[in-house]
Chain A
Amino acid sequence: MDVLYFAWVRERIGLPKERVETSAVTVAELVEELKAREERYAAAFSDLSALRVALDQELAEFDAPLAGVREVAFFPPMTGG
Chain B
Amino acid sequence: MRVVVQEAPFEFGAEAERFASGASGAGAVVTFTGVVREADGGDMAMMEIEHYPGMTQKALEKIASDAMARWDLTDALVIHRYGRLLPGDQIMMVATASRHRVAAFEAAEYLMDYLKSRAPFWKKEILRDGGADWVAAKEADEDALTRW
> Chain A interface (Cβ within 8 Å of chain B)?
4, 6-8, 54, 57-59, 71, 73, 75-81
Contacts and interface: CB of A to CB of B under 8 A. Distances in A.
Q: How large is the interface on B (under 10, 10 to 19, 20 to 34, 35 or more residues)?
A: 20 to 34
A76 B134 CA distance: 10
A76 B122 contact: yes
A47 to B, nearest CB: 13
B10 to A, nearest CB: 15
By DSSP majority rule, is chain B's interface helix, strand, loop, or mixed?
A: mixed
Given A57-B52, A57-B58, 14 more contacts: A4-B52, A6-B120, A7-B124, A54-B120, A73-B52, A75-B120, A77-B137, A79-B122, A79-B136, A80-B80, A80-B117, A80-B123, A81-B34, A81-B119
Interface of B: 34, 50, 52, 54-55, 58-59, 80, 91-92, 112, 115-124, 134-137, 142
